[in-house]
Structure 1
Amino acid sequence: MNTISRLDPAKLKFARELRCETIVGLANKLGVSRQAVSNWENGNRIPEFNMIQGISKELNVPYSFLVSKEKICISSSMALFRSKVAIPKRTLISFEKILDLYSVFVRETENLVSLPKFRLSSLILKNKDFSILDEKIIENRAKKVREFSSLGNGPISNITALLERAGIMIAYVSEPKSGVYALTKKINNRYFILLNVYEQSAVRIRFSLAHELGHILLHSNYDSGIYKNTVLHKRLEKEADLFASILLMPQDGFLLDVIRPTLGGLTLLKPHWKVSIQSMVMRLCQLGILDESHKIMIFKEISRKYSRFNEPYDNGKNKIKIDYPSLMNAAFEFLNNQGVDYKNYFSKEGMPIEFIQKEFSYLSFLDMQNRRANKVPHLRIVK
């Protein structure tokens, strides 16, 4: 048998889990036994060329991905999901494989161009054992991020760019009905955030990114068992929410702008601070400006006039625009301007550019001449 047609067992399992498919389900689609697929994944048997093509079609991955020699080696010390309570395990695995695929793409890109390294290591809490964090500790970390990035006390114009400049890799996907909202994972000593932005407004996405940054800085060193404990996980989420609120709405700057803590007054502030009205209400409660009765009153007013998932400026002509990840697009524009044949490189590695762009639709590898890569720092050709 021609060695170019040899299936990589690990790639088959990866692709199957990526597509949230079971061994039985794939076997039925291919018209083979469950044992046959199991043998392929275990490396006990090798399918013929035509069968590999069938696998490629059914799992919607390139043939070259299944047979390429490039290994998918994922070293992870942290994986924290944000999702609905009851999510099938294979759905969580599928979401994790999406992020793993992105990490492989980033890893291969770094063979061509240098990308910013993680720059916030000094701000990560060292605690390995779970403990309830004092609000002052959380506030201190949020302030340190602002100081590190020279942000002052005003609104953060683009938090996606802020995280990317700090060396955090961000990927957006749009997965309806998955029930998974976000995944933060440390892979090969680099932090990755995957957001499901399906039907999410710009302000919700911004808060989610700040929330995930909170997990990185506050909870990175915890044992993985803590993340899986339902009760402790709720506490981690609460702490990450508080971090996000403080980071996006620092007391000294935010309160200067709050003239009327009413629905009308907060609606006027929303385009400036780029946070939801509900988030502003919660922040004002944290700061003692609003009590529980006022919070409930404003929330009811939002539900009556609008929707808790469709506030003013979330949709329509005047909606706040989503800040999409731009670092990888800038990196490939840089490679394009340097005359690097990255398309051929990725094809040889079994990851055709067309495949990556289909998986992560915000990425663009075409018509890049009008963008300016020199706005993104720390890019240079790898020799």
Structure 2
Amino acid sequence: MKLRSGGRTMAAINNIIHISQAARGKHPGRLLIPARLTEARTAKKMTQSQLAAQIEVSRQSVSTYELGTKNPDPEVMVRIARVLQQPMTYFTREEIPSFGNRSTVFFRKTGADTKKRNQACAVHADWLVSAAATLANYAHLPQVDLPSFEPSGVGVCYTDDEIEESAESVRKHFNLNHGPISNVVRLLEAKGVIVCRQKMEGENVGAFSFWSGDRPFIYLASDRKSAARARFDAAHELGHLCLHRWIGEDEVDDADRLKEIEQEADRFAGAFLLPRKSFPNEVFSSRAEGFIELKSRWKVSIQAMAYRCKDLGVFDDRQITNIYKQISYKKWRTTEPLDGENGLPFEEPVVLRKLTDLLLDSGKVSAADVALEIGPSPDILSQILGTDRLRMGVESRADAPDLSLK
């Protein structure tokens, strides 16, 4: 990755900011960009009523703030920033950097119980895009090199053979042989996919993916206990990026159609990680213990390998049922051999972290300025970028006394 010369000038971050000063610029006196308040509240999965109770105003007041018909008083604005845990500057920024319009985001679930979670994830997706787009102002990102597919028939679904062939085409496009892939996340990053691993407290988020303009993104949860399952998540999202770029929100909102889409991505992940031309030749036993060594080699969960054997007809239905009974008896449903801290290592993304280091080490811009341009709190940026350097830079700026000559 090469550092790009130049880059637009950014205002330095103020650690103690007066509300009236925050609004100066194109819109003198304006204290709040309504969309930023909605985003920050949505990311916290809070309703307007819940936010209103914590900042000690009416629910109607919060509604007027988000509609842009009324600005909060300075002391209320301070409470908003504190409750939503965002810097004051976040609420006064007009634009969030991006590569273009965001495509459909592929979440695994729908329904009223997950609507808030999905909306919060969408905000985190925008923050991830903002981080990558800001860094792209100063450094070259890896070139995007992903093939794309569409079903060949008159319907909207792929056949099983089409998915198998697509996975084989992707492996060939990536110049892979028929053996195990050493590191899926690094491979995706090398092909231009921006990957981050971030923990969302209290949420059951495995992964999701989307496009921003012509740039693909994959978001992985950091609370997975199994590196093999996290690796399958990454391959599953690659399936969405290659197979489903043309799918719209209306299809994802249909629970039955979403189920089909997710099954297609699962089949792609299995075919991509465990090729039909090689993996079956290494399966010699239908005993659950026989898959442990295979898991060490292929870095795929025992349950996923058993399902792949079902897809490929390696075992009959009775044998597959018996394998799953063994898995249940051994209590491997949630934690298998080679999971956990002493198991297979997690594949961590590195591109955003290395770009951040490259930029800050160049001295062309400060950590505080980069944090200001990306937008959300330094704590969130630390997770998105995989480094504490922006947060530490902002904190060190806050600790520095303001000294000047008379």
Number of aligned pairs?
366
Task: Say if 1:158 and 1:275 are closer, same or farther in 2 by CA, change over 3 A.
Answer: same
Deviations 1:2-30 (A, max 9, x none): 35242221111111111111111111111
Tell me if structure 1 keeps the 8 A contact 2:382–2:390.
Answer: no
Deviations 1:241-284 (A, max 9, x none): 11111100012221332233422221111111000111111111
Q: Which amino acid in structure 1 is aligned with residue 170 of structure 2?
A: V
Quote the residue 2:365 is aligned against. 341
Equivalent residue in structure 1 for 2:260, among 215, 218, 235: 235
Q: CA deviation at 1:320?
A: 0.2
Task: Say if 1:71 and 1:194 are closer, same or farther in 2 by CA, change over 3 A.
Answer: closer
Matched, 1:328 2:352: yes
User: Which region of structure 1 is more displaced relative to structure 2, 24-33 or 81-90?
Assistant: 81-90
Matched, 1:290 2:277: no
How does the TM-score come out when normalised to structure 2?
0.83
Task: Say if 1:85 and 1:224 are closer, same or farther in 2 by CA, change over 3 A.
Answer: closer
Task: Say if 1:2 and 1:40 are closer, same or farther in 2 by CA, change over 3 A.
Answer: same
Equivalent residue in structure 2 for 1:94, among 120, 126, 129: 120
User: Which region of structure 1 is more displaced relative to structure 2, 204-213 or 44-53?
Assistant: 44-53
Q: Which amino acid in structure 2 is aligned with residue 194 of structure 1?
A: Y
Tell me if structure 1 keeps the 8 A contact 2:193–2:217.
Answer: yes
Quote the residue 1:80 is aligned against. 106
Tell me if structure 1 keeps the 8 A contact 2:40–2:84.
Answer: yes
Task: Say if 1:204 and 1:8 are closer, same or farther in 2 by CA, change over 3 A.
Answer: same
Q: Which amino acid in structure 2 is aligned with residue 2 of structure 1?
A: S
Identical amino acids, percent of aligned pairs:
29
Quote the residue 1:380 is aligned against. none
Tell me if structure 2 keeps the 8 A contact 1:171–1:193.
Answer: yes
Q: CA deviation at 1:57?
A: 0.4
Deviations 1:307-356 (A, max 9, x none): 21101000253x00110111101111222343332413324426377233
User: Which region of structure 1 is more displaced relative to structure 2, 260-269 or 239-248?
Assistant: 260-269
- Structure 1 gaps, min length 5: 368-383
Tell me if structure 1 keeps the 8 A contact 2:163–2:267.
Answer: yes
Quote the residue 2:67 is aligned against. 42
Q: CA deviation at 1:179?
A: 3.5
Task: Say if 1:130 and 1:23 are closer, same or farther in 2 by CA, change over 3 A.
Answer: farther
1:187-198 superposed matches below 5 A: 187-198=212-223
Q: CA deviation at 1:366?
A: 7.6
Quote the residue 1:166 is aligned against. 191
Matched, 1:60 2:106: no
Quote the residue 1:258 is aligned against. 283
| SS, match of residue 87 in structure 1 | helix
Matched, 1:213 2:238: yes
Tell me if structure 1 keeps the 8 A contact 2:199–2:221.
Answer: yes
Q: CA deviation at 1:158?
A: 0.7
Tell me if structure 1 keeps the 8 A contact 2:129–2:212.
Answer: yes
Quote the residue 2:171 is aligned against. 146
Task: Say if 1:77 and 1:145 are closer, same or farther in 2 by CA, change over 3 A.
Answer: same
Q: CA deviation at 1:129?
A: 7.7
Q: Which amino acid in structure 2 is aligned with residue 47 of structure 1?
A: P
Task: Say if 1:160 and 1:93 are closer, same or farther in 2 by CA, change over 3 A.
Answer: same
User: Which region of structure 1 is more displaced relative to structure 2, 174-183 or 51-60?
Assistant: 174-183
- Alpha-carbon separation, structure 2, partners of 1:40 and 1:343: 31
Task: Say if 1:69 and 1:316 are closer, same or farther in 2 by CA, change over 3 A.
Answer: closer
Quote the residue 2:298 is aligned against. 273
Tell me if structure 2 keeps the 8 A contact 1:172–1:360.
Answer: yes
- Alpha-carbon separation, structure 2, partners of 1:287 and 1:98: 37
Quote the residue 2:16 is aligned against. none
| SS, match of residue 82 in structure 1 | coil
- Alpha-carbon separation, structure 2, partners of 1:135 and 1:144: 14
- Runs of at least 4 residues off by over 6 Å: 126-129
Tell me if structure 1 keeps the 8 A contact 2:86–2:376.
Answer: no
Task: Say if 1:25 and 1:358 are closer, same or farther in 2 by CA, change over 3 A.
Answer: farther
1:126-141 superposed matches below 5 A: 130-141=155-166
Equivalent residue in structure 1 for 2:40, among 15, 30, 51: 15
Task: Say if 1:315 and 1:179 are closer, same or farther in 2 by CA, change over 3 A.
Answer: closer
- Alpha-carbon separation, structure 1, partners of 2:111 and 2:339: 26
Deviations 1:96-142 (A, max 9, x none): 1111111111111111112123211x433377985221222111211
| SS, match of residue 184 in structure 1 | strand
- Alpha-carbon separation, structure 2, partners of 1:276 and 1:84: 25
